Structure 1
């Protein structure tokens, strides 16, 4: 697609201009800032690409809130063309996942890597947010005490409903920006209270996917970001 756009005379600045016009629902922006202020380490797991995500986050002043972006590599080459590559090189080394993950990225594998990196830091709680088919696999990687926040009436919600017995994490659905903020911040508060009562100050992990999409029922149909959050 990028090759076709460039062949039609589209410049990288044209692409940036379109990306910068991508709105994010105001409650999503506030939820990101609130989660960060509460000590969350925010991470992104997305099947978009690095150039799109970085451009949109920087435009909205949100880049500094995320410590890690896991997505398809994307960069501008010496000729000013946007080049996008798959997160997994499926032609040389397929990720081999049997769940409905696209060939270029298995988010479950990414979550497993994050979990492994957390294993030496004590118990952490994961909250995974998503809405697409590719968000089902990482939901299966979560354990007891974790949370998954599927977007209601979207593909991942349908898959979770059809396979509820396979999900060990607590399911907390949401439908719009207001619900997104309310559910996420409620869970952060709940986890913090439980942790304080237990006397355990170990960090928590909250996770999300990040790509701009339109939220049904949201004011002015504004897109939002899926994201990945971690208190520390």
Structure 2
């Protein structure tokens, strides 16, 4: 039994139940140093999408667009092995390996989850290859799996009523539900602090629900950071921009010393 796969809450988690802190990670351009969707497109014979497909993208409907991209890739004969290989080759963001090592050595304090608009196949494939899948209690992302014809089929994660987010995913809804459920499972004990590490515009919405003891870590000079700077007055959380995973480690170490 693998206790770390996305599973009903009655499965036990290997680490102690009462970790004090929750760390949420985005995936594309946060854990990995580019977009997994862009990396996979390079598995195509011409390494790029035709213009008609590129131009079919509609704002706020990226998941739908990516479903079409995967159909096109299957039609072009791109194999499961080629997709897997393209995902496994994506480099981690600078310093992220150090951050994972730090979190692994303090597993009794930190619970980890991924909240990403990528998809389950890309994320699990990459985390397994990097040897860090076991660190994450939960992965919230769009379902994706290979069908009988060898085509990677992508589905939306959920539907929601948030007007700020893409139609298939509101990360704030995910974060709020997770915190509520985990508090129940932990016998009413909330996390002392929540840390949210991201880079994109869709990482703003969950950051808005963080409280004054929590910290949003926007990747410096990426959309999340630029938007946070222009909307700083709306945020209750601490904001700690980062360039490398080591910046996040330094910040977490200071917080650990405060206890």
TM-score of the superposition, structure 1-length normalised?
Answer: 0.75
Write the deviation string for residues 186-214 of structure 1: whole angstroms up to 9, x where unpaired: 2322322222xxxxxxxxxxxxxxxxxxx
- Structure 1 residue aligned with 2:149: 79
C-alpha deviation, 1:123, in angstroms: 4.2
Q: How has the CA–CA distance of structure 1 residues 115 and 24 changed in structure 2, closer, same or farther, with 3 Å as cutoff?
A: same
Gaps of 5+ in 1: 89-93, 196-232
4+ residue segments displaced more than 6 Å: none
- Structure 2 residue aligned with 1:227: none
Q: How has the CA–CA distance of structure 1 residues 15 and 118 changed in structure 2, closer, same or farther, with 3 Å as cutoff?
A: same
* 1:106 counterpart = 2:176: no
- Structure 1 residue aligned with 2:237: 169
**Structure 1 CA distance for aligned equivalents of residues 122 and 141 of structure 2:** 10
CA contact (8 A) 2:196 2:216 kept: yes
* 1:30 counterpart = 2:95: no
Question: In the TM superposition, what are the counterparts of 1:6-85 in structure 2 within 5 Å?
Answer: 6-25=74-93, 27-39=95-107, 40-85=110-155
* 1:115 counterpart = 2:179: yes
**Structure 2 CA distance for aligned equivalents of residues 82 and 171 of structure 1:** 37
- Structure 2 residue aligned with 1:207: none
Task: Name the SS of the counterpart of 1:70 in structure 2.
Answer: strand
* 1:181 counterpart = 2:251: no
Write the deviation string for residues 130-162 of structure 1: whole angstroms up to 9, x where unpaired: 110100000101001000011121111121111
C-alpha deviation, 1:52, in angstroms: 0.4
**Structure 1 CA distance for aligned equivalents of residues 71 and 182 of structure 2:** 39
CA contact (8 A) 1:33 1:65 kept: no
**Structure 2 CA distance for aligned equivalents of residues 172 and 118 of structure 1:** 25
- Count of residue pairs brought into register by the alignment: 185
CA contact (8 A) 2:210 2:237 kept: yes
Q: How has the CA–CA distance of structure 1 residues 165 and 74 changed in structure 2, closer, same or farther, with 3 Å as cutoff?
A: same
Gaps of 5+ in 2: 1-68
**Structure 1 CA distance for aligned equivalents of residues 201 and 75 of structure 2:** 32
RMSD (Å) for aligned C-alpha atoms:
1.4
* Structure number with higher relative contact order (C-alpha < 8 Å, ≥ 6 residues apart): 1
